[in-house]
Structure 1
C-alpha cells in the first residue's frame, strides 16, 4: 500500500510506550529466569564435586571445559562460520577473554579448592556470596553509571542470606586469602565478560572462554602435576565430569550470559545467591549435609534480595542497571545501552570497554 492510499493523518503503526515497556518487562523476566537457572545448576554442581576429590583438579577442568567447547561451537555457529567475529576481536578483547577464563573459571575453581584445604567449605561460600555487592558497585562504575540503590540493597540482602544458609566455619589466614581469591573470580566471571559479550553473544563467548580455559587448565596441570595431570576417570568421576561439562557449563554458561545480556551484570549476579541455596537443598540427596531452619531463613533473605534488586518488586528500573548490547544474531529485542549500536549494527566502543583487563 502506498502512503497516499492511507487515510489522512494515518501512518505505519508504531509501537506505543506501553508496548515497548511490556516487551522490556518480558525480556527482563526471561533474563532473570535464565540467570536463576544457571546459578541453581552451579549450586547443584557443588554437590557433584564431592565425588571428584581424588581426581586431578587441573585435568578435570581441562576435560570439562574442553568438552563444553566442542559442544558449544556448533551451537554458536548455527550454520555460519564463527571465525569472522573471533578475528574481529582486538588484542585487548582477546586479553579479556583470556583473563575471564583464567580468573573467572580456572582461577575460581582453584581458589575454592585451595580455600577448602585450610578452611571449612562455608568460608569460601560466604565470600562468594558477597559477589552481588561487589558487582552492584563495580559494574555500573565501569559503565559510567551510578549504582542503583535498589540493586545494592538487594545485593546486601542476598549476601546476608548466603551467610545465614552457610554459616561460618574454621579457617586460617590462608583460607581467608584463598576465599578472597574465589570472590575475585566470581566477580571477574561477570564483569570481565561484558565488553566481549557485545560482539560475540552468549554462545560464542561461552565457547571461546571454555576453549581458552581448557588450554590454561592443561598447561597448569602440566606445571603442577607433571605426567599425572590427567587420568581415566572412574564411573562416578566420569558422571560428575559429564554433568559439569554438559549441564553446568554448556547449559549454565549460555543461560548465565543471556541473563547478563538482558538484565545487566549487576542484576544477574544477584542470582548467585541461589548457588548456596541450591547446594544446601541438594546436599541431603547425597548425604553431605542437611536443610534446616537456618537454610530456610537464609533462602528467604536471598529470595527477598533477588526480588528487590532484580526489579520483580518494581523498584529497580531504568538506566541504573542497563542490559548489555548483544551480537546482532543472538537475542532479539534486548534492551540496549544508549551508547551502543542497535542489534545487527556494528558494535561501537562504549564506556564499558574501559573496564578491567
Structure 2
C-alpha cells in the first residue's frame, strides 16, 4: 500500500466515524441508550475476537492496576461516550452534535493540560481557543428545532469529555496494549459495564424500532470494526501529523450526512462554528501526533 492509499484509508475511516452521528440520531429515536450500547458491543466483540485470532494478537499479562484502569476506560470512553452521544442526539440536531464531536482532539489536549500538567505550545492554545469559539458561535445562534437543545448539546459535549478521559487513562497504563487487543478488551468490558443498566431499561417491554436496530448493527460492524481496520492500515503508512489532519473529515462528513440523509437545515451560526472547529483541528494536526482511539 502506497502513501496515497494510506490517505484514502484514513479518510474513509474518519468518514465512517462521522457517520456514527447520523446512526446515533436514528438509534436515539427507537432505542434506549444503554440497550443500544450493549447491542453495539455484543455485535462488535465477536468480530474483534475473530480479527485477533486471525492475526495472532495476544493480550499481554496485566496487573490489577491496569485492569482497573481498563475498566475505567471502558466506563468512560466506551459506555459513557456512546450512551451520552445517543442521549444527546435525542435532544439536539445531528448538525450540532457533529460540530461538538469535532472538538475531540482539542478537548483531549485540554484535559491533558488540566490533569496531566502538560505544557501546551502557542499553537495548541490557539487551536483550543478556536474550537471553543466555534462551539460558542453555534450555541449562541437561533435555537435548533425541538425543546431542550442546549441539554442535548451538553450531553454530546459530555460524550466528548468521556472520550478525552479515555485517552488520558490510556496514557496511565503500565503495559501498553496492541490496538486490536485494546479494542477487544474495551468491547468486552463495555458490554459488562452497560449490561446491568440496559436490563434496567427493560427493552423486552418496548416496541423496538427496526430502523434503530439496523442503525446499531451498522454502528457496530462498519464504523467500529471496519473503521478500526481502515484507520490502522492508513496510519501505518503516513506521518503522525498527516494522520491527525484526517480527523477533520469526521465532523465534516457528519454535517453533510445530517443535511443529506436527515434533511436537517444548516444555520449560519452552525456553519461558522464548523469552520472554526475544522480550523482548530488543522492547527492541532500540525503540532501533535494523533491519539488513536478504541471505542
2:19 maps to what in 1?
44
Instruction: Say if 1:284 and 1:290, in contact at 8 Å, map to a contact too.
Output: yes
- Distance in 2 (alpha carbons) for counterparts of 1:256 and 1:198: 22
- For residues 160 and 36 of structure 1, the distance between their equivalents in structure 2, rounded to whole angstroms, comes to 26
Q: CA deviation at 1:64?
A: 1.1
> Equivalent residue for 2:193?
216
* Contact 2:42–2:191 under 8 Å retained in 1: yes
Q: 1:278 to 1:227 in 2, by over 3 A?
A: closer
| Aligned: 1:133 with 2:106 | yes
Rg larger for: 1
In structure 2, the partner of 1:305 is 280
Match of 1:57 among 33, 51, 63: 33
What TM-score do you get using the length of structure 1 for normalisation?
0.62
1:146 aligns with 2:119: yes
Match of 1:200 among 177, 192, 209: 177
Bigger RCO (CA 8 Å, 6+ sep): 2
Question: Which residue of structure 2 aligns with residue 349 of structure 1?
Answer: none
- In the superposition, the TM-score normalised over structure 2's length comes to 0.73
The alpha-carbon deviation at position 292 of structure 1 amounts to: 6.2
**CA-to-partner distance for each residue in 1:43-68, whole Å, 9 max, x for gaps?**
21221233321223222211211221
**CA–CA separation in structure 2 for the residues paired with 1:139 and 1:301:** 21
Which residue in the other structure is 2:69 paired with? 96
1:290 is paired with a residue of what secondary structure? coil
Aligned counterparts of 2:260 and 2:240: Cα–Cα separation in 1: 33
Q: Which aligned pairs between 1:265-284 and structure 2 lie closer than 5 A? A: 268=244, 274-284=249-259
**1:173, CA displacement in angstroms?**
8.6
Q: Aligned partners of 1:138 and 1:299: how far apart in 2?
A: 21
The answer on whether the counterparts of 1:154 and 1:309 sit within 8 Å (CA) in structure 2 is: yes
Q: Deviations over 1:146-192 (max 9, x none)?
A: 22322332333344445556765464896676455324213123322
Instruction: Tell me how far apart the structure 2 counterparts of residues 54 and 245 of structure 1 sit (CA, whole Å).
Output: 16
Counterpart Cα distance in 1 of 2:15 and 2:191:
23
Secondary structure of 1:146's counterpart equals: coil
State the 1:42 CA deviation.
2.5
Q: CA RMSD in A?
A: 4.2
Cα distance in 2 for residues equivalent to 1:263 and 1:142: 24
Superposed counterparts of 1:170-319, under 5 Å: 171=148, 178-179=155-156, 181-196=158-173, 199-222=176-199, 224-226=200-202, 228=204, 234=210, 236-253=211-228, 263=240, 268=244, 274-291=249-266, 296-311=271-286, 316=287
Q: Quick one: distance in 2 between partners of 1:159 and 1:41?
A: 25
* 2:56 is the alignment partner of 1:80: yes
> Does the CA contact (< 8 Å) of 1:165 and 1:280 recur in 2?
no
**Equivalent pair of 1:206/1:254 in contact (CA under 8 Å):** no
Partners of 1:147 and 1:98 lie apart in 2 by 29
Listed as ranges, the gaps of 5+ residues in structure 1 are 1-25, 326-357
Structure 2 gaps, min length 5? none
Contact 2:24–2:89 (8 Å) recurs in 1: no
Q: Is the 8 A contact 1:63 1:241 kept in 2?
A: yes
May I ask how many residue pairs the two structures share in their alignment? 282
CA deviation after TM superposition for structure 1 residue 80, in Å: 2.3
* Inter-CA distance 324–56: structure 2 relative to 1 (3 Å threshold): closer
The answer to whether residue 84 in structure 2 is matched with residue 111 in structure 1 is yes
